[in-house]
Structure 1
Amino acid sequence: MSGLGELDRPETPRTPGAWDEPSRRSLTDVGGDEGGTDESGSRDAGTAASSRDRQSPTRARRSNADPVKALMHHHRDLCERAVDPLEIAAGLEAHGVTDRTAARFRHRDVFSLAEEMYARVPRDDDPAPRPTDPPAPRVRAAWLVLALLPGVLCAATVAGLRLTDGRPRLIAAAAGALAVTLALRAALRRGPLGAATRTTGTWTCWLVGYALLGDGLLRTALAGGPDALPDGTADGAWPLTAAPVVALTLSCAPAAVCAHLFAVRARRKLASSRGLADFSASVRPLLLGTFALYMGVLTALLTLTGAVLDEPAAHPQGLALGALLLLARLLTVHGHAHSATLVLTATAAAEGAALATLFAGRLPGCDFLAVPVDALVAVCGPAGVPTAACGLGALTLLVHASRRLTRASAHAHAHADAATDRPG
């Protein structure tokens, strides 16, 4: 073709804008220069240009209609900070993108859509490497020790209360309560039970305090009100129920292990699942199995502490409170702290209202206020109040967790411990 030879000759400089889109396309497609070499070449070039012009709107629409690119622009921050496609998939699911939505982007599910988005994100350098396996045993040992401390300190405090009397007993009780509180705070800041969201522990402390003192106070109120309260604590007459509290603090370590196993297994299922429905169906039995494992361990601890302390095992209220606290913590760790705090607040308020109505029922003309609690205690005993309150709260959180913790978005930013540890 003669046009190819003329391309080697220098051309006359042109002003900006002299090249229009059809001319560039015809020159590129035909292979000649702007003027052509003969009439036949001009006709061929014109025919190619006109044909290209007829096809250009369709090609322009195809090039501009890139829905995945638009989705990436909409979720730019998510794509840029993600360290793997799974985090993008979880983030999309949290924003309401489902497998049916992914089908409109020509993908079979959210996971394959996330893989394309992750592959298309421009990165100047590789993301920072995640912690490797060697530090994992040390990290695991650290949070295991922290999780064991509350139970050990609580058992030592109860032993000190039983071996002392008078002022030394008050000192042992105050020092023990402070030590257990600090140990629980440390255990809930690190490890599988740690959460980035800072939540108040006021209602949790109330629930544990009621497990220790509530039954005795309820019996005192039923016996006659404030006049029946002990004159003081010097004689040690205040009734305590230590067995469920010791069992609950000892169960902090099993709860941490269960939370760790749930996070690790859920992360693995997130990597192997090929759809949101598939992931939810595989994680729901895992959640229920983790919950059942903890409840079994807590039952054994309640039986053991009851036998050692020579107290009733208090299985109903202990199991109900343990289930409530575990589910609330799992929801908090995985980004649903609001619902957990709301249920804990309602449960604590129900227990407080039960005590308040009993004392208010002793006022003239207010007997009707104490009727519901009196009826419940007559059927189930004093343990019926915390069992009913905590049981309803735990059931509510279990239903809520079965919906929220089985979503990929709950595991978008799995705990660092779950990402580094690989249990055999």
Structure 2
Amino acid sequence: MTAPTAPTAPVAPTPTPTTPTSPAPAPAPARKPAARRGPADPVRALMHRHRRLCERAVDPLEIAAGLEAYGITDRTAARFRHRDVFSLAEELYARVPHGADRETPEPPARVADARAGRTGTTGRARWAALTLLPGAVCSLTLLGLEHSGGQRQLAICLAGALALSGALSACLRRGPLHAGGRTVPAAGLWVYWLLAYLLCGDGLLDQLLSGGPDGPWPATVTPLVALAFAVAPAAWCAHLFSVLARRRLTDSRGLADFAAGARPLLLTVVGLYAVVLTGLSLLAPLALQDDDGALAATVTLGTLFLLARLLTVHGFPESAATGLAAACAVEALACASVLAGRLPGCDALAAPVRAVVLAWGAGAVPALACGAAALGLLTHATVALSRASAHT
């Protein structure tokens, strides 16, 4: 009989050595695409920025003028893949919808014809008649003064001044001298000051220099007559400048091209008006049998008025008012310096005015004042009115 065997304990399996496993490498981050330096369609951002301008424009020229007013030049247009502002404006006009009533845009020629409808044959005859009205009123007033005397002359003079002011206001409310935009109310005061000084400022200055004034000083009506008749050529010159500048804007293919043609056009128109005004200033003393025509003062003042009105009509009334105010300030300062020279020890204050009057006469003061102001406005106008935005 065999002895029972003892149960054997289970043998644990021998652990096999395992090598430490390294963690799985993290997936490499996806490479971001390189950022673009500009949008695929560079015109789209510009279109959204100026969408209101593009929607209201009646032709691409208005968009080009608006872009120029915002500071976009031909060099800027190259960043939008266009050779100039005009071609950029044409694309903006074609891409921006203009509403159901503007699905078929009118060609620029028809738009220009529609705008010129107000200055057609009938409208042109109307404002041409109005521009002749100041000269007619001035002539009738002088005729009445020659055939009257005493208190009646005073009444005729006041009535003529009111009628002349009304005729000038009517000329400025319509036609090529009409400013449809904003105006500076103080500019009217400067105009009346300059006209009043031209009428009687020389006599006042002569009496101030001689120790006066002693009683009423003489008035010179001849320059006022020449300026009254010069309203008609001023209106025609303003109309000629607007028409030719608009035509030049249509034919130009760049802002620099338009500016190069607009500057000599402005100088030609201003020079033409100065020549016509010189002729009227020479004829007025012969017609009125007056020796004192104040030629230089009349021509410079008329040129100053034309430049100020052109700037106002084309959207620069502040510059026009500044030029008129500067001329008024010089004339007022001339008279004030003569009065200040009467104070003890202040003789030197009146010396410059006294020297000018002794050399060239009292009419040299308004001529220098208006001439300097006109030259300043002409310099500003050659820049301001050579922009496309000034003619839309």
Which residue of 137, 156, 170 corresponds with 2:140?
Answer: 156
Is 1:368 matched up with 2:348?
A: yes
The verdict on how the C-alpha distance between 1:293 and 1:396 changes in structure 2, with shifts beyond 3 A counting, is same
1:340-384 deviation per Cα after TM superposition (whole angstroms, max 9, x unaligned) = 101111110110111122123223333222111111111111011
CA RMSD of superposed structures (Å): 2.1
Deviation at 1:409, TM superposition (A): 1.1
Contact in 2 for aligned 1:157/1:172 (Cα 8 Å): yes
Structure 1: where are the runs of 5+ without partners?
1-56, 231-237, 413-424
Mapped to 1, the partners of 2:153 and 2:367 lie a distance apart of 30
* SS of equivalent to 2:71: coil
The verdict on how the C-alpha distance between 1:135 and 1:103 changes in structure 2, with shifts beyond 3 A counting, is closer
**Aligned residue pairs, count:** 348
5 Å matches for 1:212-231? 212-226=199-213, 228-230=214-216
Which 10-residue stretch deviates more, 245-254 or 357-366? Answer: 357-366
Is 1:74 matched up with 2:49?
A: yes
Is 1:240 matched up with 2:226?
A: no
Percent identical among aligned pairs is: 57
* SS of equivalent to 1:188: helix
Residue aligning to 1:113 = 88
- So what's the TM-score if we normalise by structure 1? 0.78
Mapped to 1, the partners of 2:343 and 2:148 lie a distance apart of 39
Which residue of 165, 173, 183 corresponds with 2:157?
Answer: 173
Is 1:86 matched up with 2:61?
A: yes
Mapped to 2, the partners of 1:286 and 1:270 lie a distance apart of 12
Residue aligning to 2:263 = 284
Contact in 2 for aligned 1:225/1:359 (Cα 8 Å): no
Residue aligning to 2:30 = none
Contact in 1 for aligned 2:183/2:312 (Cα 8 Å): no
Which residue of 186, 190, 193 corresponds with 1:206?
Answer: 193
Mapped to 1, the partners of 2:151 and 2:208 lie a distance apart of 27
Contact in 2 for aligned 1:220/1:229 (Cα 8 Å): no
1:89-132 deviation per Cα after TM superposition (whole angstroms, max 9, x unaligned) = 01111111000000011100000000000111112212797357
Mapped to 1, the partners of 2:91 and 2:386 lie a distance apart of 24
* SS of equivalent to 1:257: helix
Q: Which has the larger radius of gyration?
A: 2
Residue aligning to 2:125 = 141
Partner amino acid for 2:215? L
Mapped to 1, the partners of 2:167 and 2:222 lie a distance apart of 19
Residue aligning to 1:252 = 231
Contact in 1 for aligned 2:119/2:175 (Cα 8 Å): no
Structure 2: where are the runs of 5+ without partners?
1-32
- So what's the TM-score if we normalise by structure 2? 0.84
The verdict on how the C-alpha distance between 1:271 and 1:384 changes in structure 2, with shifts beyond 3 A counting, is same
Is 1:101 matched up with 2:81?
A: no
